[in-house]
Amino acid sequence: SSPPSNPTINTMAQLPTQNPKPEFRSTLGMEIPQENTPAEEEREEDSIRVFVRVRPLSEREQQQQQQENMITVNVASSSLILRGDFPRHFVFDGVLGPEASQDATFDTVAKSIVGSCLAGYNGSIYVYGQTGTGKTYTMSGLCNSSATVKLDTRGGLIGRMLAQVFSEISRRTCQDSREQFRLRCSFLEIYKEQIMDLLEPSSTGLPVREDINR
């Protein structure tokens, strides 16, 4: 089974809120002259990283395509070029091409965030893109059971991050049996400004509160 079809780019933003050593950097999709690249020391100060993943064309798109692909991906320089009469060159913290696996996507985008969270810092991953760009495939994959989450190579970031959390808990408890962990999970959908608790589907139209007491 292949990733979803339609437009080809989705963007992932990775946000740790605090970090004692700023290990994350970002150019936030900065457009630059093709011959230049941002200085590494200037990009190390940011705590936001932005990645772009370009999915492969679907069979239908390949059949309908009348001209060459308008996107050139350069994984080595973390950049992509939108070709045309006036080519535009963009540099990101990382670019994942059409051939990138789910495993490689996790290692590039999410693995360090889980490590930061286990060290006591908040972390978030946001995925942006038009319908059909592969957001759900990237985050959830094509797995439909707990067994396939562990074994299926198409598993997305969510399942892989959870697996890493439990693996690290197991490792730490083996080292120190006195160490204890408490995990809480919520799974919400926000659609047209309506919130649904996906772990309790009957709970719809949930209010958004800035203060738990209001």
Burial label for 135, CB within 10 Å (0-12, 13-18, 19+), is: buried
Rounded-to-integer distance, Cα 128 and Cα 16, Å: 17
Question: pTM surpassing 0.75?
Answer: no
Does the structure show a pLDDT above 80 at 9? no
Backbone region of residue 213 per phi and psi (left: phi > 0; alpha: psi in -120 to 50; beta: other values) = alpha
Kind of pairing between the strands at 94-96 and 88-91: unpaired
Say how far apart CA 172 and CA 178 lie, in whole Å: 10
Give the whole-angstrom CA distance, residue 28 versus residue 35.
18
Q: Which residue has the higher pLDDT, 188 or 13?
A: 188
**The predicted structure's pLDDT at residue 15:** 57
Enter the DSSP assignment of 13: E
Tell me which DSSP letter residue 86 carries.
S
Closest CA to 48 of 20, 75, 27: 27
Tens of pLDDT, residue by residue over 60-111, are 887 776 556 788 899 999 999 988 888 899 999 999 999 999 999 999 999 9
d(CA 37, CA 54): 21
* pLDDT score for 36: 45
Query: CB–CB of 38/46 below 8 Å?
Result: no
